[in-house]
């Protein structure tokens, strides 16, 4: 296992982190707790959960495991989270931290996230006087939290703004070998500020293992696309921890094997992958961002095109894409949209700028249809 310094905290964390969002909840909580303990035995010391994961069971599973490992509590780090809109006062934020402490069966939380910042207004809500951040600072003073960190789905340049005041010691981002251009500015900015950088979703929600053949260009000799994707995040010098949502011991073994052999990616390697992704994915949005800032009606084009990638890679039906879009509007890249797909006036500026020469306008038309269906179904039900 590789260990890396987590920003300026003085902590050394495992390059592979346990993401507590994919437990098999058909199994007992005690069985799942054993999986977490197995991971710690394999050298994984960064354990990440959140109140709502796994039908709200994940924190309880963590609590069981932490109780079983009480004698080595100083050998692993636990993180959990709270959303600014759910805990919009300092009092509510403190009460939520206390609730998590009780469920996790621990006296302190190592990393506490201002969770899931998808819109700038959510950051402002967290930071307002008497808001969540103030509550978290009080918890930190009292020793209930060791480090305040943030998780976000914003794009790279917006992430730079989010972290620029250094109110947080680390940042959690959805970054992987396919979408890294979309978030790379943010990753680099965080690394330059000497913050911890935690990558979630390294396999793009299962999309990489499901498209091994198509994505085989990602791998080096004798390396699968999945292994390359894991290696990309795990060995990336700018990424501190790569969270993996583990369900079985085999998943843990695979990630640990990759971490054991991972040759660190150099800046040149990153450039090579950048051009490989660009050259081999000519029908897909690479997230390069060249189209951004050009739209007269402020459609977040790259976010919509990243979303549309799922249609191409997973061959999803219109019905499935409509459902996914509902989720994305709330939690994903399109959550912070100033304008929806239907607002496109077909000026063509984005297509002129697109490095992949994508038919953006046509894709937005299709997306607008999904949005219309979604809106109708929300109104009717």
Binding site for ligand SF4 (CB under 6 A): 285-291, 294-297, 299, 301-302, 305, 344-350, 353-356, 358, 360-361, 364
Least Å from the CB of residue 301 to ligand SF4: 5
At residue 200, φ and ψ (nearest 5 deg) are -110, 165
Closer CB to ligand SF4, residue 274 or residue 323? 274
Question: 176: which 2 tokens?
Answer: 């992987």
Least Å from the CB of residue 306 to ligand SF4: 7
Least Å from the CB of residue 364 to ligand SF4: 6
Q: Which long-range contacts (CB under 8 A, 24 or more apart) does 324-327 make?
A: 325/367, 325/370, 325/371, 325/374, 326/374, 326/378
Least Å from the CB of residue 9 to ligand SF4: 34
What is the distance between the alpha carbons of residues 361 and 345, in angstroms, rounded to a whole number?
Answer: 9
Could you tell me the CA-to-CA distances from 304 to 174, 301, 327 in Å, in that order? Answer: 16, 5, 13
235 within 8 A of 263, measured Cβ to Cβ:
yes
What is the distance between the alpha carbons of residues 56 and 233, in angstroms, rounded to a whole number?
Answer: 28
Closer CB to ligand SF4, residue 8 or residue 337? 337
Closer CB to ligand SF4, residue 325 or residue 344? 344
What is the distance between the alpha carbons of residues 307 and 332, in angstroms, rounded to a whole number?
Answer: 9
Closer CB to ligand SF4, residue 92 or residue 294? 294
Contacts of 101 (CB under 8 A, 6+ apart): 107, 108, 109, 144
Least Å from the CB of residue 294 to ligand SF4: 5
32 within 8 A of 61, measured Cβ to Cβ:
yes
Closer CB to ligand SF4, residue 155 or residue 231? 155
Closer CB to ligand SF4, residue 220 or residue 345? 345
Residue 3, beta-bridge partner list: 14
Least Å from the CB of residue 236 to ligand SF4: 21
């Amino acid at each position: 296992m590789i260990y890396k310094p987590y920003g300026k905290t003085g902590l050394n964390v495992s390059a592979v982190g346990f993401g507590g969002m994919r437990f098999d909840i058909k199994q007992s909580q005690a069985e799942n707790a054993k999986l977490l303990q197995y991971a710690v035995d394999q050298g994984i010391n960064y354990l990440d959960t959140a109140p709502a994961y796994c039908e709200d069971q994940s924190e309880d599973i963590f609590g069981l495991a932490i109780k079983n490992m009480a004698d080595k509590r100083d050998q692993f780090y636990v993180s959990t989270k709270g959303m600014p809109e759910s805990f919009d006062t300092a009092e509510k934020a403190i009460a939520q931290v206390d609730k998590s402490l009780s469920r996790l069966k621990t006296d302190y939380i190592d990393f506490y996230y201002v969770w899931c910042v998808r819109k700038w207004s959510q950051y402002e809500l967290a930071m307002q006087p008497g808001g969540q951040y103030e509550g978290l600072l009080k918890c930190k003073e009292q020793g209930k939290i060791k480090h305040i960190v943030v998780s976000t789905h914003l794009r790279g340049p917006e992430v730079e703004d989010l972290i620029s005041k250094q109110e947080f010691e680390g940042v959690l981002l959805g970054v992987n070998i396919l979408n890294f251009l979309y978030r790379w500015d943010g990753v680099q900015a965080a690394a330059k500020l000497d913050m911890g950088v935690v990558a979630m979703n390294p396999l793009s929600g299962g999309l990489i293992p499901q498209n091994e053949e198509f994505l085989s260009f990602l791998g080096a000799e004798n390396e699968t696309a999945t292994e390359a994707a894991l290696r990309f995040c795990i060995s990336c010098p700018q990424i501190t921890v790569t969270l993996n949502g583990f369900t079985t011991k085999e998943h843990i073994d695979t990630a640990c094997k990759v971490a054991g052999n991972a040759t660190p990616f150099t800046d040149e390697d990153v450039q090579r992958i950048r051009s490989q992704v660009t050259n081999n994915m000519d029908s897909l949005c690479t997230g390069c961002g060249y189209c951004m800032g050009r739209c007269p009606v402020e459609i977040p084009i790259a976010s919509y095109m990243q979303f549309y990638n799922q249609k191409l890679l997973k061959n999803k039906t219109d019905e499935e894409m409509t459902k996914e879009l509902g989720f994305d509007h709330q939690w994903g890249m399109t959550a912070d949209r100033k304008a929806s797909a239907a607002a496109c006036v077909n000026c063509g500026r984005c297509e002129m700028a697109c490095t992949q020469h994508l038919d953006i306008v046509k894709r937005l038309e299709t997306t607008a249809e999904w949005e219309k269906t979604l809106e109708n179904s929300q109104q009717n039900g």
